[in-house]
Amino acid sequence: MTYQRPAYEEVTIAHRGNTVSLRPSLRAAATLEACHGFPALFRALDDCNLTIISEIILSASVIRQDAAAFLCGHAGKPLFPFFLAVRQPLAELLDMFRPAPDPKAKHATGKPVPWPDFYQALYTQATGFLGWTPENAWNATPTEIDRAYAAHIDKLKAIHGSADDTVASEQDNAYTPERLKEIDELGYDPAFDRDGLNVLRSKIARRA
């Protein structure tokens, strides 16, 4: 069965009667990436690095007490069943630290952005453009911020028009050879506001 990334990004892990829910929040993503980097985080899962795995669970836990109880549940017991229970869910969680691909987004052609700068940009978008509180921004996932910001830009374009619309309008009004020929045949420029000019002349005449 092909894995499908859930619309609501949360991972639940159960082991030895204990359950913990993890959210790929911006806070967890920025903190863990800054401490270890993505390669080391994924490698920790392959290497069964208990220290880093425990750090991931504590950082991303929805309720920290649940995470502490979950981690204490394997104390004094074989670790292999614990690693089997957490490796795949944690790999999915780490993948959610990156925004889900947007099929409508244009392919990026710019220079790659370091992850700390990218997370800082997401925080700025959430607090500066969307008006979220810092707490809401840190608790949201990178995908949630990315989608909300894209929707905000679409809303502004719908209200005010986009740069593409402006360029298209300027191109429509460009004085191409064909346009100049049309003006010459008509004897006037259809785009010229002649009535507005007459009103302006009348105002100037009254002031004179």
- What pLDDT score was predicted for residue 129? 93
Residue 163 forms part of a structural domain: no
Domain range for 197: 173-207
Task: List Cβ<8 Å contacts ≥24 apart for 4-11.
Answer: 5/92, 5/95, 5/96, 5/100, 9/96, 9/100, 9/141, 9/143, 9/144, 10/62, 11/60, 11/89, 11/90, 11/92, 11/93, 11/96
Residue 30 forms part of a structural domain: yes
Residue 1 forms part of a structural domain: no
Considering the entire predicted model, what is its pTM? 0.74
Domain end (from 95, 126, 149) = 95
- What pLDDT score was predicted for residue 207? 55
**At which residue do the structure tokens 């002349």 appear?**
201
- What pLDDT score was predicted for residue 206? 61
- What pLDDT score was predicted for residue 167? 47
Residue 115 forms part of a structural domain: no
Residue 201 forms part of a structural domain: yes
Residue 154 forms part of a structural domain: no
Residue 67 forms part of a structural domain: yes
Domain end (from 76, 95, 114) = 95
Domain end (from 95, 127, 143) = 95
- Count of structural domains within the chain: 2
CA 2 vs CA 5, 60, 202: distances in Å: 10, 25, 74
For each of the chain's 208 residues, which pLDDT tens digit applies?
567 888 899 999 999 889 999 999 999 999 999 999 999 999 999 999 999 999 999 999 999 999 999 999 888 889 999 999 999 999 999 999 999 987 776 766 678 899 999 999 999 999 999 999 999 999 999 999 999 999 999 999 888 776 555 544 545 555 556 655 565 565 555 555 455 545 545 655 565 5
- What pLDDT score was predicted for residue 28? 98
Residue 61 forms part of a structural domain: yes
- What pLDDT score was predicted for residue 100? 93
